[in-house]
Structure 1
Amino acid sequence: MKTNKIFSNKYIKGGLLIALGLLLGWLIFHNPSSEKTEITDDGHDHAVEGHDVWTCSMHPQIRKDEPGDCPICGMDLIPLLKSDVVIDDQAIEMSESAMKLAEVQTSVATRGNVSKEVRLFGKIQVDERLLKSQTAHIPGRIEQLLVNVTGENVKNGQLIAKIYSPELVTAQKELLEALEMADKYPAMLEAVREKLRLWKIGDEQIKEIEKSGATKTEFEVFATTPGIVTNRKVNTGDYVSRGDVLFEVADLSRVWAIFDAYESDLSWISLGQNVEFTAQAIPGKTFSGKITFIDPVVNASTRITRVRVEVPNSGLQFKPEMFVNGIIQSRQAGSGDQLIIPQSAVLWTGKRSVVYVKLPGTEQPAFKMREIILGSAMKDAYVVMDGLAEGEEIVTNGTFSIDAAAQLAGKTSMMNPSGTNVSTGHQHGEMETGVEPATTKNSNKKHVMVSVGGLCEMCKERIETAAKSVTGVESANWETDTKMLHLNFDSSKTNSDEIQKAVAKAGHDTEKFKAPDEVYKKLPECCLYDRFK
């Protein structure tokens, strides 16, 4: 009776129903391996830690588990992998997916032909051996100048001027007097005649004076050198002394094509090589000639050497100061048996050349930096003299991404050859970055970008060489399209201003310093960029 009374209470009945529902739910949904789930979850956390970590090369405190852009500077994130696989302690490991995202590509070092197409720019110039001066052989005043236009063609024996000479008048009187005493003093007559001959007075003119018995006040001057008048030195009425230059005359039947060769191309150029060249003023024609002379001195300002090709010019189609473009198909001795790698594989610090070699036999792709010695540079490749063996696999694309990942991980890298830990930038709170604080040495490393004026590959070589000549500069790369110079240097040894001054001194304007006008004017024509205002 008491039991029925209990169950008839609506509160107790509701509580029992709730308890019964909870019991049924536990029986249906209970998982007896809850402890295992906890272990699995913990194992999942470790797996995540083994996945790729993406960071910013400029702000390494940024850490993400997927690729994207840096929230500070907007640069593409690069992979930084934490791995438990035992490999070389200075190697950097990347997964296949990370390599694809970073666009890393490799190729095998092979032996091949060492050849290069050397492009040269130059001008037509007068053959200096055919450049002569027409001088005055008698002193006096120019009464009439019959050749008075630069560029006029002068023939040998052509009348070019008439000169009044008091000294010659006196010499004529001496001749007439010696002629009267020729019977007694024949040697004196011959001596006076020889004196006139030394003044380039011809035998016919001497006979005419002797026959007429009168002195001439004006004497005719005839050309002794045929060619084109390139420079007129005198005017009518000028007084000239014996030996003074009246005209400079050039024989243009043979001319020189003078090309500017950059010092980095000199190893590809030799005497006797064939040069094919074209002239803008003679479209549709290709000419060729042999190299007959290579200037033994490199110009200190422009870093170029002049290369000479002698060109026949019977039709006078080549004119001095005409622009020409030349090509040399050069091939070095021993070609076909030298180790060659793509230029994109090489990182150059200014003193060292390094590549990243793929280590064989690893579970995941692993790469290690190696210093090499380079030989000649071709259009898209380098000759390797030492440090690499045939058949080794190297990184040819995405090299900077791997180098940045290695540097952030404290491995040996282009800017960190000792393999010490590098700076991670600012530390925010207790954020884990995976990289220890910087050493004093690496805190001095700076990267800046500077706008530098220029046009062509010769400009690029000149700008980079000038920048790298400054102590403390580790790398310099000038982009022809953006006109930006990327610099990596040790701020304890130099600064941006000192580097810009060196570049300006070489003839290229920078953001803060202008090149001297005299240096700029000496640059090859193809390098005359628009000056900075």
Structure 2
Amino acid sequence: MRQGSGVVLAAVVAVVAAGGGYWMGTRKGGDHGAAATSAQSAAAPTGESKARKLLYYRNPMGLLDTSPTPKKDPMGMDYVPVYEGEPDNEPAAANQIKISTDKVQKLGVRSETAKLRVLDRVVRAAGRIEPDERRIYAITPKFEGYVERLHVNVTGQPVGKGQPLFEVYSPELVSAQREYAIAAQGIDSLKEAGGEAQRGMRQLAESSLMRLKNWDISEEQLKALAKSGETKRTLTFRSPVAGVVTEKKALQGMRFMPGEALYQVADLSAVWVVADVFEQDIGLVKSGAKATVRINAYPDKAFTGAITYVYPTLNAETRTVPVRVEVANVGQLLKPGMFAQVELPVAAKGSVVTIPTSAVIDSGTRRIVLIQAGEGRFEPREVKLGTRSDTYVEVIDGVKDGEPVVVAANFLIDAESNLKAAVGGFGHASHGGGAAAPGQAAPAAPAAAVGSERREGAKSASADHRTEGKLDAIDLKAGTVTITHGPVATLKWPGMTMDFTLANSGLIGNLKPGASIEFTFIERKPGEWVIVKLAGTGAARPAAHAGH
């Protein structure tokens, strides 16, 4: 029994020894094969470099640092050789920026060709309804007196032409009537008298009649006075036009003085729409052109009129010029004081070079577009713009017909600081020629000429860095946030808690303190770290610890 066990043990040892020898041989052969492969790989660039011209070595992290000879970066990574004729490795021109194809797809960059178009546009302006100043009448006695009776005693009451408004008593009026009546009777009694006496009495009657006419006594009243010779104690004032009483100062029994306006009547059968047109559009507006007026009170109706006058003055506060449009007021629907939206069609000036309005990045001080110069290459170009339509804008200078311009990307630019961050974000090539991590902007492409050297470890002011962490505090007034973040490999930072500046307050969205986040930031200037992309990663979780 003991002898059988020894035989079995010996057999097991022999099998293990054989297997070990086989494994060692295989390992040795594999190492030899790997070495051979490595040698071939190492020899490949040397062989290729004879066929292709070596330009320089670039920083593996994409920093603006090149070297004419092989070297390592501070993290011990080898600089990447750049050969002539390689599109992904060729530096962008001095006036261009470059991103990888993967980055183009992730940003959602889309371009459209600038074309010659006829810009048919409509100038839109806010306006208000006002009465026609030529259709406003004031009823003003020209003598002193008292209001005896009111026939129209409320403001806003519609009146017809010739309708009685009020009656007045005036001692002067009574005296003038008696004087005229006596003169008229004297003419009749002096028919047989000499010519000189008759002539004098006729002049007195004419003078009294003219006085009454100048006081706006109607012809009907004068004829009745001349016929009967009876003076009227009161005089009735009537509406000179059919319209609406817009102002009433007369009170029953009140005393009035010459020239005092007691009533105001407006004819509202036609009204003015005064539109405030912005300064940059006023050169397109011409008198005589048709206009469309819309009122919020009648959303299903459109009123048409004609531009009759462009005012010669500009409102310095709103930078607008008033434009008058005359509109027929059928059914008295348009009330003075209503707000209106006015559309003024503008004649086109012919075919002009146009681009979509979304292609323009307006920083407030300049307007730029991004020209697609090639695959992954873009050229920022300042442009001078002209007239606009709803979707296109004229380019006076900066873009030619047929040039492709970028019209869409997945970022929003609303201030000069954001403009710099956005343009900086375009100027990054992928690390080592590979795709950037999701949500992370790629490092910048080299832009130095062959043989130029830069300080080792120099960094682009717009190089992107990405990490995760916890949102500790938000100060929207100061535009800053406090974040406890994990390690940042691109900066060799350990985890820590620090303050960051927001590129714009809209990045916060619905995030609250305590939320777990991932974010991308840049160094806008020494010591100022600006977050350009921020997103929540789910429920709140403990902050990353330093070195964790």
Identify the match of residue 348 of structure 2 among 322, 327, 332.
Answer: 332
**Structure 2 residue aligned with 1:101:** 106
Distance in 1 separating the partners of 2:490 and 2:313 = 58
Output the CA distance in 2 between the equivalents of 1:426 and 1:399. 18
Identify the structure with bigger relative contact order (alpha carbons < 8 Å, sequence gap 6+). Answer: 2
The structure 1 segments of at least 4 consecutive aligned residues displaced by more than 6 Å after TM superposition are 11-20, 40-44, 47-53, 425-430
What is the CA–CA distance in structure 2 between the aligned matches of 1:208 and 1:429, rounded to whole Å?
A: 107
Moved more, 16-25 or 275-284: 16-25
How far, CA to CA, are the matches of 2:277 and 2:43 in structure 1?
65
Partner of 1:416: none
Q: Does 1:199 align with 2:215?
A: yes
2-structure distance, mates of 1:148, 1:411: 86
Deviations 1:230-266 (A, max 9, x none): 1112111111122221211111222223334334443
**Amino acid in the other structure paired with 2:263:** F
Match of 2:395 in 1: 384
Matching residue within 400, 405, 427 for 2:425: 405
1:306-354 deviation digits (Å, cap 9, x = unpaired): 33221223543433334544434434212xx211111111111212111
Report if the CA contact (8 A) 1:91-1:411 is conserved.
no
* Separation of aligned partners in 2, 1:43 and 1:136: 113
Paired position in structure 2 for 1:301: 317
Aligned partner of 1:354 among 368, 382, 407: 368
Quick check: 2:305–2:328 contact (8 Å CA) kept in 1? no
Alpha-carbon spacing, 1:358–1:34, altered in 2? closer, same or farther (3 Å): same
Residue 373 (structure 2) pairs with residue 343 (structure 1)? no
Deviation at 1:298, TM superposition (A): 3.3
Task: Name the residue aligned to 1:4.
Answer: none
Aligned to 1:195, what secondary structure does the other structure show? helix
**What secondary structure does 1:272 align onto?**
coil
User: Aligned pair 1:134/2:139, yes or no?
Assistant: yes
Matches within 5 A, 1:282-301: 282=298, 284-301=300-317
Distance apart, 1:118 and its partner CA: 3.5
Does the CA-based 8 Å contact 1:268-1:332 persist in structure 2?
no
- 1:157 is matched with which residue? 162
Across the aligned residues of Structure 1 and Structure 2, the Cα RMSD in angstroms comes to 4.3
Counterparts in 2 of 1:402 and 1:323: CA distance versus 1, 3 Å:
closer
| 387-396 vs 215-224, greater mean Cα deviation | 215-224
- Greater alpha carbon shift after TM alignment, 140-149 vs 258-267: 258-267
Percent identity at matched positions?
Answer: 29
Higher Rg of the two aligned structures: 2
* Higher deviation after alignment, 192-201 or 282-291: 282-291
Q: Report the equivalent of 2:23.
A: 25
8 Å Cα contact 2:126-2:275 kept in structure 1: yes
Q: Which of 106, 109, 113 is matched with 2:118 structurally?
A: 113
1:164 to 1:42, Cα distance in 2 relative to 1, 3 A? farther
Q: Distance in 2 between matches of 1:225 and 1:136?
A: 17
2:152 to 123, 144, 147: 147
Instruction: Please show how residues 305-320 of structure 1 align to structure 2 within 5 Å.
Output: 305-313=321-329, 315-320=331-336
**CA deviation profile, 1:433-453 (whole Å, cap 9, x unmatched):** 59xxxxxxxxxx9844499xx
> For this pair of structures, how many residues does the alignment match?
393
* Residue 133 (structure 1) shift: 1.0
The alpha carbon displacement at 1:392 in A equals 1.3
- Taking structure 1 as the reference length, the TM-score comes to 0.62
- Please give the per-residue CA displacement for 1:59-97, whole angstroms capped at 9, x wherever unaligned: xxxxxxxxxxxxxxxxxxxxxxx9532431342222322
- TM-score by length of structure 2 reads 0.61
Aligned mates of 1:347, 1:301 — CA distance in 2: 26
2:3 is matched with none
Q: Which residue of 1 aligns with 2:34?
A: 34
CA distance in 2, matches of 1:398, 1:289: 43
Give 5+ residue unaligned stretches, structure 2: 1-5, 45-56, 64-86, 191-196, 412-420, 429-443, 448-458, 467-485, 493-500, 508-523, 526-548
Deviation at 1:49, TM superposition (A): 8.5
Q: Is the 2:239–2:265 contact (alpha carbons within 8 Å) kept by the matching residues of 1?
A: no
The answer as to whether partners of 2:119 and 2:388 remain within 8 angstroms in 1 is no
Contact 1:410 1:421 in 2 (8 A): no
TM-fit CA distance, 1:140: 0.1
Cα distance 1:134–1:42, how it changes in 2: closer, same or farther (>3 A)?
farther
Closer, same or farther in 2 for the Cα pair 1:313/1:249, shift >3 Å?
A: same
* CA deviation after TM superposition for structure 1 residue 141, in Å: 0.4
Between the aligned partners of 1:274 and 1:197, the Cα distance in structure 2 is: 44
For residues 488 and 95 of structure 2, what CA distance do their matches in structure 1 show?
27
Please give the alpha-carbon distance, in whole angstroms, between the structure 1 residues aligned to 2:43 and 2:287: 72
Deviation of 1:267 (Å): 4.6
Deviations 1:272-300 (A, max 9, x none): 32223344555644332222222333333
Q: Deviations over 1:210-235 (max 9, x none)?
A: 56555433222233344321111211
Aligned match of 2:205: 189
Deviation of 1:19 after TM superposition, in Å, equals: 7.0
Residue 237 of structure 2: aligned partner: 221
Superimposed CA distance per residue, residues 95-123 of structure 1 (whole angstroms, 9 cap, x where no aligned partner):
32221111111121111121223444434
- What SS does the aligned partner of 2:423 have? helix
Is the contact between residue 411 and residue 421 of structure 1 (CA under 8 Å) also seen in structure 2?
no
Bigger drift between 222-231 and 170-179 goes to: 170-179
- Among residues 445, 456, 461, which one is paired with 1:422 in the alignment? 461
Q: Distance in 2 between matches of 1:411 and 1:447?
A: 25
Contact 1:407 1:422 in 2 (8 A): no
What amino acid sits opposite 1:307 in the alignment?
Answer: V
Asked if 2 retains the 8 angstrom alpha-carbon contact of 1:295 and 1:307, the reply is: yes
Q: How far apart are the structure 1 equivalents of 2:101 and 2:489?
A: 28
Give the deviation of 1:208 after TM superposition.
Answer: 4.3
User: 1:398 deviation in Å?
Assistant: 1.5
Give, in whole Å, the separation in 2 of the partners of 1:129 and 1:411: 73
Give the Cα–Cα distance (whole angstroms) in 2 for the partners of residues 429 and 285 of structure 1: 64
CA contact (8 A) 2:371 2:403 kept: yes
Structure 2 counterpart of 1:422, one-letter code: A
Separation in 1, partners of 2:427, 2:253: 80
Offset of residue 386 of structure 1: 0.8
Give the secondary-structure state (helix, strand or coil) at the position aligned to 2:208.
helix
Check whether the contact 1:342–1:382 (CA below 8 A) recurs between aligned residues. yes
CA change 1:40–1:302 in 2 (3 A) is farther
How far, CA to CA, are the matches of 1:369 and 1:399 in structure 2? 17
Q: Does 1:257 align with 2:273?
A: yes
Kindly indicate whether the alpha-carbon contact (under 8 Å) linking 1:298 and 1:305 is maintained by their aligned counterparts in 2: yes
**Deviation per residue, 1:427-472 (Å, 9 max, x gap):** 99995459xxxxxxxxxx9844499xxxxxxxxxxxxxxxxxxxxx
